[in-house]
Amino acid sequence: MNPRDRVSYRLLLVAVLAGMAGCRPITVESAPAARGAVRATVSTQASQFPRSITDSRGKTLTLAARPQRIVSLMPSNTEILYAIGAGNRLVLDTSACDYPPQAKLVPHVNAMNPDIEPILARKPDLVIADDRYNDRLITGLESAGVPTLVVGIRTVDQTYDAVRMISNAVGAGGQGTKLAETMAGRIAKLRGATAKLAKKPTVLIMYGDNPIYTTGPGSFISELIGICGGTNVVAAPLPGDIISAEKVVELQPEVIIASPDVLKRAVRIPGWADAVPAIQNRRTYTMHDALIRPGPRLPEAAEQLARYLHPEITQ
C-alpha cells in the first residue's frame, strides 16, 4: 500500500469513528438494476463445503467447512456480515465497527493499528481483511495459516461484488445475492433520476480541515457524487488528498459535505464566508457515515446525498 493510500484510508477510519449522522431514504422513479463488475466465484453450490473463493486480489482461498469463528477488520465488512445473517459468528471486529449496535458488543482490535496477536488468540477459521489498510496484517495471517479473504473496493459495483464474495465465503450465498440486487436497484434508481438533470452542483467532500483532506477521482465516493447528480470539485488527484483553502476558493464548490465538527470549523476558515458559494448559500451538509463505508447502507447514504444535491427530485 503506497503512503498516499494509507493516509487516505486512515482518514476514512477517523471519519467513521467520528460518528456521522444518517437520514431517511429518497423516493425516485424506477430504473433497471445495475450490474456489478468483477464477480466473486465459488467452486460448488451455495450450501456446500469445501469451496474455493476468488478474492479481490485474484487469489483463491479454499475453505474446508462453513466458517464459525469470523474476524472482520473493516466496518463495511462487519455490516455485510450482519446484513446476511452471519453476525452471530463474529468473534472479533474493530473499534470502528459500531453498526449495527450488536457489533459494539463484539471484542475489538484497534481500528487504526490492529495487532495480529489478538486475532490469532481468537482462533478464527476466517478473517475478512481489506487490501489497502490491512496489507501487512494479511501477510502475517497467511503465514500463520489463517484463512484470509481479502476485499478491495474502488467502485460502486465492487461493493456489490464484496457482498456476494463474503456471502459465498460464509455459506450465505442466497442472502448475499438478494442484498446485492437490492442495493444495485436502489443505486440504479438514483442514477436514472439524476441522469438528465441539467444542473450538476460541484461538491467538496471534507474529511478534515487542518489540513483539508478530501477525495479525488477514482474512488467510489467520487463515483457516487456523479450518480447522485453532482460533480466532484476535485477533478484531478491531489498529493495526499490534501487541498489548500486557497484552492477551494479557486474551485468554488457549491456544496460541502463533512462531519458536523468539520463543518463547524469550515465555515470559519478565513476568506471562505465571502468567497465559497457553499458557505455563502448555506449548502453545507452532514455526511452519512455509510458514505465512507462501501457496505449494505451505501444506497441509504447515496439517497441522502442526492437529496442534498437535488431536493426537487424527492417526494
Q: Which of 138, 170, 188 is the last residue of a domain?
A: 188
Has residue 19 got a pLDDT over 70?
no
128 and 202 assigned to the same domain: no
Specify whether 224 is located in the same domain as 294: yes
Alpha carbon 44 to chain centroid, angstroms: 29
Report pLDDT digits (tens) over 80-128: 999 999 999 999 999 999 999 999 999 999 988 899 999 999 999 999 9
Query: Between these two residues, 246 and 9, which has the higher pLDDT value?
Result: 246
Q: Residue 13's pLDDT band (boundaries 50, 70, 90)?
A: low
Q: Which three cell numbers stand for residue 100?
A: 449495527
Q: SS3 for 153?
A: coil
Strands lying side by side in the sheet with 212-213: 208-209, 212-213, 242-243
Of 128, 22, 40, 120, nearest to 82 by C-alpha is: 128
Residues 124 and 182 grouped into a single domain:
yes
Whether the CB-CB separation of 230 and 255 falls below 8 Å is answered with: yes
Residues 177, 88 share a domain: yes
160 with 176, same domain: the answer is: yes
- How many distinct structural domains can be found in the chain? 2
Q: Is residue 78 part of a domain?
A: yes
Of 153, 169, 188, the one marking the end of a domain is 188
Peptide bond preceding 124 in cis form (omega within 30 of 0):
no
> What is the reported pLDDT for 298?
95
User: By mean pLDDT, which of 14-28, 124-138, 276-290 is the weakest?
Assistant: 14-28
In whole angstroms, give the CA distance from residue 215 to residue 226: 13
Q: Supply the CATH number for residue 255's domain.
A: 3.40.50.1980
pLDDT digits (tens, 9 = 90+) for 244-288: 999 999 999 999 999 999 999 999 999 999 999 999 999 999 988
Nearest one of 3, 8, 2 to 205, comparing CA atoms: 8
Which three cell numbers, joined as nine digits, stand for 216? 479525488
Judge whether 38 lies within some domain: no
- The answer to whether residue 141 is domain-embedded is yes
Residue the block writes with cell 465465503: 169
| Percentage of the chain modeled with pLDDT above 70 | 84
**202 and 162 in a common domain:** no
Same domain assignment for residues 91 and 114: yes
Q: Which domain holds residue 219?
A: 3-30+196-313
Judge whether residue 130 has pLDDT over 60.
yes
Give the per-residue pLDDT at 14. Answer: 53
Is residue 44 situated within a structural domain?
no
Measured distance CA(187)–CA(184) in Å, rounded? 5
Q: Please state the pTM of the whole predicted model.
A: 0.85
State whether 165 and 81 are in the same domain: yes
Residue 177, judged by CB atoms within 10 A of its CB (0-12, 13-18, 19+), counts as middle
Query: Which run of H or of E encompasses 109?
Result: strand 108-109
The CA-based angle 90-92-96, given to 5 degrees, is 110
